[in-house]
Amino acid sequence: MIAVKDNPPNFTPEEYFAWESQQLEKHELINGQVYAMTGGSINHGRIAIKLTALFDAHLDGSGCITGNSDIKVKIVESEDYTYPDASVTCDERDKTTTQYITYPCLIVEVLSKSTEAYDRGGKFRMYQNNPVLKDYLLVSSTSIEIDLYHKNDAGQWMIINYGAGDTIELKSINLSFPIEQVYRGLTLTPET
């Protein structure tokens, strides 16, 4: 995410929703400040599409909601809102809101050079406040690498690193799939 050039005054959530509805770009709201969401690479977009399609097909008829990068996630016990690349909520409370979800069990961020440190650090710390979140998936857009932060039954976050030949296991939605399914048809090149 990139800070808006002319920092406006702090927004309340109501002001943020009204203001953002008139903007051409999406913006996250963190501590009252808005941050413009930058566009990603072609691989970034294709990976996000593949994952949301995979989740949606798997969850068809389950009552769960699969979200793409247009669905905001409200950070629990805050007035902050983010736009992950993909999310899944199976929580009934999220069926009563129209502008965001609050209780995803799965969040996905496709990594880029400019956002990786934030996605692994500050953003993950915000997401950890969610008592329902079980899986936080960080997906490389330049190599066959996926890191899964999984909250075990004791409430501890464990990291599982996946590479070529591995099968990803998302306990939050009871789904396993080969890592190559995410990268099929992509030309992977390191970012410069």
- Domain-embedded: residue 192: no
**Residue 69 clears pLDDT 70, i.e. is over it:** yes
- CATH number, residue 108: 3.90.1570.10
Q: Tell me the residue type at 87.
A: S
* Edge-to-edge strands, sheet with 2-3: 2-3, 33-36, 27-30, 81-82, 72-74, 100-101
- Domain-embedded: residue 189: no
Average pLDDT estimate for 65-92: 96
Distance (Å, whole) CA 46 – CA 52: 10
Closest CA to 107 of 129, 87, 79: 87
Instruction: Tell me the pLDDT of the chain averaged across its residues.
Output: 91
- Domain-embedded: residue 190: no
For 114, the domain range is 41-183
Whole-number pLDDT of residue 3: 41
User: Do 116 and 142 share a domain, yes or no?
Assistant: yes
* Structure-block tokens of residue 49: 């599409």
User: Do 25 and 61 share a domain, yes or no?
Assistant: no
**Residue 4 clears pLDDT 70, i.e. is over it:** no
* Structure-block tokens of residue 4: 């808006």
Whole-number pLDDT of residue 7: 54
pLDDT in tens, 33-43: 888 887 788 99
Give me the sign of the Cα torsion angle 39, 110, 74, 59.
positive
pLDDT in tens, 6-34: 556 788 899 898 988 888 888 888 988 88
User: Do 26 and 51 share a domain, yes or no?
Assistant: no
pLDDT in tens, 124-182: 999 998 999 999 999 999 999 999 999 999 999 999 999 999 999 999 999 999 999 99
Whole-number pLDDT of residue 1: 42
Whole-number pLDDT of residue 8: 60
CA atoms within 13 A on the CB side of 42: 5
**Residue 192 clears pLDDT 70, i.e. is over it:** no
Whole-number pLDDT of residue 17: 85
Structurally, the chain folds into a number of domains equal to 2
User: Do 8 and 96 share a domain, yes or no?
Assistant: no
